[in-house]
């Protein structure tokens, strides 16, 4: 069985990198095909594990907008025949809506939605159309002259990333990261349910929340007591229960248990303080102190400003860079997201 995914196009590489990381860590056996930017097929998924995989992807991905079961792929001129040949009673309960999305295609979306909807309605008993709150959702995706006919079984929680925007949480401080990027970083760190995850510059707790919602046990520390307390308030608000927060200067950090991943956004000295230390200095001290707290195969996923030369710091402390992505935030800040491993 196959899935069709519609990815966010707000970044050219991160959504796909996030998807590949989740496939890797969740050991999802599939052939991944990028149809075009923003459109991905996961082919040949095991029938028995299909629903489990489907739910994992829906639960974890931040930069994916839609996940659907692919029912059929046809050329546009065969669309009507194909719609008639599908037994829609297997998919549609009570009422449905059809929505068309185009990628490099000129088809008339409204006319196609109406036509497909009409054909389904006239060929299936006891169902109706409900455009506002359909119980069943049929997604038709047009790419050039190919049409993907899909059934949307699970909904991604689109509202979650809206509700969880930093300024809508009970504790806010400038310099917070967007929840989508925090989720993506947690996924790039290849964390699994039950993993022990550390953010030693936890600030308002944005990264801890996303790692916690994936199912990790999270520990956050910050030099500032107000942040430690605020992060806890935000974790409670998000419904994360398996957490600890403490006040620690990262330069003096000593963990009693090695962690499975470190995911963090150290201060750049712009909107968050480096407490008197230069940005270079804080990154250098952080990197050399954190290495001892990480398990052998643990990954460090870290944000940094592009003005900082991370590579020479990594060499000095026994880390190796695996992946790197840059995100232009505004005129004077480009953020770099690095995925880093320990040299064995
Ligand atoms: C960029 S903010 C983290 C933002 C966080 N990702 C969020 O979403 O709120 C960096 C944090 O590092 C903390 N910090 C600065 N110097 C530190 C140090 N030496 N040890 C630990 N935390 C420090 C600051 O108090 C600040 O909360």
Clarify whether residues 94 and 209 are in a common domain. Answer: no
Clarify whether residues 188 and 276 are in a common domain. Answer: yes
The CA-based diameter of the chain, rounded to the nearest angstrom, is 71
Residue 174 in domain: yes
Output the domain CATH number for residue 107.
3.30.2130.30
Where is the domain boundary, 122, 152, 182?
152
Cα of 341 vs centre of ligand 1, distance in Å, is: 22
Residue 204 in domain: yes
**Among 220, 218, 239, residue whose Cα is nearest residue 230:** 220
Clarify whether residues 142 and 242 are in a common domain. Answer: no
**Among 207, 215, 182, 192, residue whose Cα is nearest residue 24:** 192
- Strands 333-342 and 319-330 come out as antiparallel
Alpha-carbon distance of 216 to 221, in angstroms, equals 16
- The pLDDT value recorded for residue 183 is 98
Alpha-carbon distance of 179 to 6, in angstroms, equals 19
Clarify whether residues 167 and 61 are in a common domain. Answer: no
Alpha-carbon distance of 326 to 212, in angstroms, equals 25
Alpha-carbon distance of 181 to 17, in angstroms, equals 12
Cα of 303 vs centre of ligand 1, distance in Å, is: 12
- Per-residue tens of pLDDT for the chain, all 344 residues: 999 999 999 999 999 999 999 999 999 999 999 999 999 999 999 999 999 999 999 999 999 999 999 999 999 999 999 999 999 999 998 999 999 999 999 999 999 999 999 999 999 999 999 999 999 999 999 999 999 999 997 777 778 888 889 999 999 998 889 999 999 999 999 999 999 999 999 999 999 999 999 999 999 999 999 999 999 999 999 999 999 999 999 988 888 899 999 999 999 876 555 566 667 888 889 998 898 899 999 999 999 999 998 898 888 888 999 999 999 988 888 999 999 999 87
- The pLDDT value recorded for residue 271 is 56
**Among 319, 255, 259, residue whose Cα is nearest residue 283:** 319
Please tell me the number of Cα atoms within 13 Å of 300 on its side-chain side: 32
- For residue 74, give its domain range: 2-152
To the nearest 10°, the Cα dihedral for 40, 46, 51, 56? -60
Tokens representing residue 46 in the block: 């095991």
Output the domain CATH number for residue 196.
3.40.50.150
Please tell me the number of Cα atoms within 13 Å of 169 on its side-chain side: 28
To the nearest 10°, the Cα dihedral for 182, 183, 189, 190? 180
Clarify whether residues 170 and 281 are in a common domain. Answer: yes
Residue 178 in domain: yes
Clarify whether residues 166 and 276 are in a common domain. Answer: yes
Tokens representing residue 3 in the block: 């899935």
Clarify whether residues 22 and 69 are in a common domain. Answer: yes
Cα of 320 vs centre of ligand 1, distance in Å, is: 23
Pocket of ligand 1 (CB under 6 A): 175-177, 200-201, 203-204, 206-207, 222-224, 227, 249-251, 265-267, 272-275, 282
Alpha-carbon distance of 70 to 76, in angstroms, equals 16
Q: Whose CA is nearest to atom 13 of ligand 1?
A: 201
Tell me how long the chain is: 344
Q: Which of 180, 197, 201, 266 to probe ligand 1 with, by most ligand atoms within 8 A of CB?
A: 201
DSSP character for 36? E
Residue 47 in domain: yes
Strands (E), 165-314: 196-199, 217-222, 243-247, 259-264, 294-305
Where is the domain boundary, 110, 133, 152?
152
Q: Whose CA is nearest to atom 7 of ligand 1?
A: 176
To the nearest 10°, the Cα dihedral for 288, 289, 293, 296? 10
Residues 6+ apart with CB under 8 A from 169: 204, 234, 237, 238
- The pLDDT value recorded for residue 273 is 58
Specify burial of residue 265 (Cβ count, 10 A radius: 0-12, 13-18, 19+).
buried
- The pLDDT value recorded for residue 272 is 58
Residue 157 in domain: no
Residue 317 in domain: yes
Q: What is the pTM of this model?
A: 0.95
Say how many domains are in the chain. 2
């Amino acid at each position: 069985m196959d899935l069709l995914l519609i990815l966010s196009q707000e970044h050219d590489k991160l959504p796909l990198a996030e998807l590949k990381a989740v496939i890797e860590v969740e050991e999802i056996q599939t052939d991944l095909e990028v149809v075009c930017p923003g459109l991905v097929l996961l082919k040949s998924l095991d029938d028995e594990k299909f629903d489990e995989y489907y739910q994992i992807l829906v639960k974890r991905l931040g930069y994916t907008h839609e996940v659907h079961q692919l029912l059929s792929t046809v050329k546009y001129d065969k669309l009507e025949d194909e719609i008639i040949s599908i037994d829609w009673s297997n998919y549609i309960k009570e009422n449905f809506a059809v929505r068309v999305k185009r990628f490099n295609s000129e088809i008339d979306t409204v006319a196609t939605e109406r036509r497909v909807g009409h054909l389904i309605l006239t060929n299936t008993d006891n169902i109706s159309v409900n455009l506002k709150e359909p119980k069943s959702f049929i997604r038709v995706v047009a790419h050039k002259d190919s049409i993907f006919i899909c059934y949307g079984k699970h909904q991604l929680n689109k509202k979650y990333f809206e509700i969880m925007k930093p300024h809508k949480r009970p504790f806010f401080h400038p310099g917070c990261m967007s929840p989508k990027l925090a989720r993506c970083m947690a996924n790039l760190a290849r964390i699994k349910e039950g993993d022990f995850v550390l953010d030693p510059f936890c600030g308002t707790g944005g990264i801890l929340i996303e790692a916690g919602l994936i199912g990790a046990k999270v520990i956050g520390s910050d030099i500032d007591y107000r942040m430690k307390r605020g992060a806890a308030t935000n974790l409670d608000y998000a419904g994360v229960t398996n957490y600890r927060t403490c006040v620690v200067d990262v330069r003096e950090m000593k963990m009693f248990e090695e962690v499975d991943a470190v995911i963090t956004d150290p201060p750049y000295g712009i909107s968050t303080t480096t407490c008197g230390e230069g940005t270079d200095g804080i990154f250098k001290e952080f990197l050399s102190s954190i290495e001892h707290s990480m398990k052998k195969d643990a990954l460090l996923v870290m944000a940094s400003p592009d003005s900082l030369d991370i590579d020479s710091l990594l060499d000095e402390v026994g880390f190796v860079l695996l992946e790197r992505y840059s995100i232009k935030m505004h005129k004077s800040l480009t953020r770099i997201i690095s995925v880093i491993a320990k040299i064995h």
